[in-house]
Homo-oligomer: A and B are copies of this chain.
Amino acid sequence: MKKSMGAKTVLCPTPVLIVGTYDKAGKPNVMTCAWGGICCSKPPCVAVSLRKATYSYDNIVDRQAFTVSIPSEKYAKQADHFGIVSGRDEDKFAATGLTPVRSDLVDAPYVGEFPLILECKLLHTIELGLHTQFIGEIMDVKADEAVLDQDGSPDIEKVRPMIYATGNRTYHGIGSMQGKAFEIGREL
Contact = CB atoms under 8 A, between A and B. Distances in A.
A61 interface: no
Contacts of A91: none
A77 B35 CA distance: 27
Contact of A168 (B13, B73, B155): B155
A43 to B, nearest CB: 5
Given A37-B35, A183-B80, A126 B124 contact: yes
B13 A13 contact: yes
Contacts of A89: none
B155 A84 contact: no
Counting every copy of the chain, the complex holds: 2
A145 interface: yes
Nearest to A119: B7
Q: Pick from A44, A124, A152, A167 the residue with the most CB of B within 10 Å.
A: A167
A138 B170 contact: no
A118 interface: yes
A42 interface: yes
Interface string A18-51: 0000000000000000111111111111110100
19 contacts: A1-B145, A2-B142, A7-B44, A9-B46, A11-B37, A11-B38, A36-B39, A40-B128, A40-B130, A41-B130, A42-B131, A43-B129, A76-B179, A77-B179, A77-B185, A77-B187, A77-B188, A153-B167, A155-B167
Nearest 3 pairs between A and B by C-beta? A80-B185, A173-B175, A81-B185
